[in-house]
């Protein structure tokens, strides 16, 4: 065996497992195989001038490369079991929280020391929300911001690369079980190790599914979240974002009893494209540096869809809706809330007249032609509910970008060590289906590293 541990994917899951292994078992030979580029070579060509929309680079520099999908994210590390994944169901609530706190100390000691940790504890906003059927979830959140997140990743890479071997632009195509280990194929090369940690993220979801099929690892269907990204003047939500930074609020619609929730709030941030396997959806981020901040705050409003028999392909359903918006808008569609309520499309003139200046160049259109009625009704209902705690939310000039889709991987059958039915083969992070966030993915990496080091 040439290596002791192979790690597939250098997103937060892979990075933090490598980090912890180097601390606890420095004698181990570790190889990280990553489909994307090293951090300095990750450049999305969209500049808003020459390249206005996604041109489908392969690999996509937003999703792939050192830092994974999190590299240019807002760097919000939520320390909570209430959202961001179900890691606690496998490893226990206290342990999950401890791991997330530990990840926070690593981020702080690698460049995040001047960033703020926000918390909902004792917030009067909880009571205010409850008055209108809005439920504010408990969490602490470290906001690194896109800029500091990058610094932390740079520092982690500089430290890790002293002890860990990295191979970039090396997509793994196959994982095989050997006697007492694993063989991994990438292009014409093959690598072998006693243990293999797969951390391929959301962008590796289809590939992960094929690995599970090949290796007879059980999976079960998961959910998909569909919705829009809302953008409005930052002042509207400033009383929430100043105190909490990110508020995760859940609302049950009166019409259907569906749950709608806020997701990924970016005060003074920007709306961005996200490309998952060629499908362009919308996301958002913000910078810690005031010079890079905008006049707007954005957040997603999402509705979760679960399917049972006979239809199981939740991601396929989400993809179809996203494809429809890509077909009609050539990418992401933007619509003023007022136009949506009046039953008309937004056009270029209406967006030009809008008091809220869009931070993303998207095609003005009509989201009601794309998003299923039930989901759209829920989003509209929640916007009116949010208007009660943040007046100015449900106005003509609030912008809605669509569609925002959160794809979840099939949930992989894992034990409490995040080990598959094959001894020594671990699946962590978002590709396991049990994490959907930076903090949970990172925590899962630490958890597996500790188990391997113990052994
Ligand atoms: C724009 C954006 C903003 C976000 N903002 C936040 C936020 O503020 N807070 C939050 O908690 N979450 C956020 N997220 C989600 C967060 O980034 C992910 O939950 C997290 O990165 C998951 O980590 P991971 O290691 O599991 O996977 P990833 O970060 O997706 O990393 C997986 C890596 O594996 C590589 N890979 C895939 N397949 C292969 C293969 N076959 N061979 C080799 N390598 C492979 C990929 O190239 C990728 O680099 C955001 C996501 C996006 C896209």
Q: What percent of the chain has pLDDT over 70?
A: 100
| Whole-number pLDDT of residue 158 | 98
Asked if 380 and 368 count as a contact pair (C-beta separation under 8 A), the reply is no
202 CA → ligand 1 middle, Å: 6
Q: Is 328 strand, coil or helix?
A: helix
**Is the CA virtual torsion 426, 429, 431, 435 positive or negative?**
positive
303 CA → ligand 1 middle, Å: 21
Q: Running DSSP on this structure, what letter comes out for residue 59?
A: S
Residue 271 has pLDDT above 90, yes or no: yes
* Omega prior to 403 cis, within 30 of 0: yes
Q: What are the pLDDT digits (tens) for 186-210?
A: 999 999 999 999 999 988 988 999 9
pTM: 0.84
Residue closest by Cα to atom 6 of ligand 1: 73
Q: What is the average pLDDT across 265-285?
A: 89
Q: What percent of the chain has pLDDT over 90?
A: 81
Asked if 63 and 57 count as a contact pair (C-beta separation under 8 A), the reply is no
Residue closest by Cα to atom 4 of ligand 1: 73
Residue closest by Cα to atom 7 of ligand 1: 76
Residue 317 has pLDDT above 70, yes or no: yes
Residue 268 has pLDDT above 70, yes or no: yes
Q: What are the pLDDT digits (tens) for 134-182?
A: 999 999 999 998 899 999 999 999 999 999 999 999 999 999 999 999 9
* pLDDT band with cut points at 50, 70 and 90 for residue 96: very high
E strand residue ranges, 294-379: 296-305, 333-336, 363-364
179 CA → ligand 1 middle, Å: 31
| Whole-number pLDDT of residue 222 | 67
Residue 234 has pLDDT above 80, yes or no: yes
437 CA → ligand 1 middle, Å: 8
46 CA → ligand 1 middle, Å: 19
Q: Is 117 strand, coil or helix?
A: strand
Average pLDDT, the chain: 94
Residue 360 has pLDDT above 80, yes or no: yes
Which strand (E) or helix (H) includes residue 186? Answer: strand 181-186
Token couple for 265: 């709030």
Asked if 248 and 136 count as a contact pair (C-beta separation under 8 A), the reply is yes
Q: What are the pLDDT digits (tens) for 411-439?
A: 999 999 999 999 999 999 999 999 999 99
Substitution site in 68, 206, 207, 263 for ligand 1 pocket (most atoms within 8 Å of beta carbon): 68
Instruction: Name the pairing type of β-strands 249-252 and 259-266.
Output: antiparallel
């Amino acid at each position: 065996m040439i290596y002791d541990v192979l790690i597939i994917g250098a997103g937060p899951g892979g990075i933090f497992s490598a980090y912890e292994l180097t601390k606890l078992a420095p004698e181990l030979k570790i190889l990280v195989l990553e489909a994307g580029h090293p951090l300095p070579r990750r450049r999305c060509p969209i500049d808003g001038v020459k390249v206005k929309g996604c041109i489908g680079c392969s690999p996509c520099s937003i999703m792939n490369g050192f830092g994974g999908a999190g590299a240019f994210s807002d760097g919000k590390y939520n320390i909570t079991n209430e959202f961001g994944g179900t890691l606690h169901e496998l490893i226990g609530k206290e342990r999950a929280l401890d791991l997330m706190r530990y990840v926070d100390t690593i981020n702080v000691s690698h460049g995040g020391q001047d960033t703020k940790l926000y918390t909902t504890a004792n917030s009067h906003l909880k009571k205010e929300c409850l008055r209108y059927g809005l439920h504010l979830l408990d969490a602490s959140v470290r906001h690194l911001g896109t800029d500091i997140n990058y610094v932390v990743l740079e520092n982690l890479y500089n430290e890790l690369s002293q002890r860990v071997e990295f191979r970039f632009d090396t997509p793994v195509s196959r994982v095989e079980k050997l006697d007492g280990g694993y063989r991994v194929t990438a292009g014409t090369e093959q690598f072998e190790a006693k243990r293999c940690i797969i951390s391929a993220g959301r962008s590796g979801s289809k590939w992960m599914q094929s690995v599970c099929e090949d290796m007879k690892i059980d999976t079960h269907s998961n959910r998909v979240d569909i919705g829009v990204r809302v953008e409005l003047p930052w002042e509207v939500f400033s009383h929430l974002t100043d105190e909490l930074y990110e508020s995760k609020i859940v609302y049950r619609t009166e019409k259907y009893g569906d749950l709608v929730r806020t997701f990924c709030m970016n005060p003074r941030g920007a709306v961005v494209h996200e490309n998952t396997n060629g499908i362009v959806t919308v996301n958002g981020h913000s910078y810690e540096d005031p010079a890079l901040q905008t006049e707007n705050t954005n957040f997603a409003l999402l509705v979760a869809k679960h399917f049972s028999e006979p239809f199981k392909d939740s991601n396929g359903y989400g993809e179809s809706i996203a494809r429809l918006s890509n077909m009609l808008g050539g990418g992401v569609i933007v619509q003023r809330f007022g136009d949506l309520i009046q039953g008309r499309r937004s056009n270029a003139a209406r967006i030009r007249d809008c008091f809220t200046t869009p931070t993303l160049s998207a095609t003005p259109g009509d989201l009601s032609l794309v998003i299923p009625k039930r989901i759209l009704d829920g989003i509209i209902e929640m916007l009116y509910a949010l208007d009660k705690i943040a007046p100015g939310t449900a106005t003509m000039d609030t912008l809605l970008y669509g569609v925002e889709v959160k794809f979840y991987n099939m949930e992989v059958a894992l034990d409490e060590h995040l080990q598959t039915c094959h001894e020594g083969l671990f699946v962590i992070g978002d590709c396991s289906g049990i994490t959907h966030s930076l903090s949970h993915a990172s925590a899962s990496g630490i958890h597996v590293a500790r188990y391997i080091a113990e052994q």
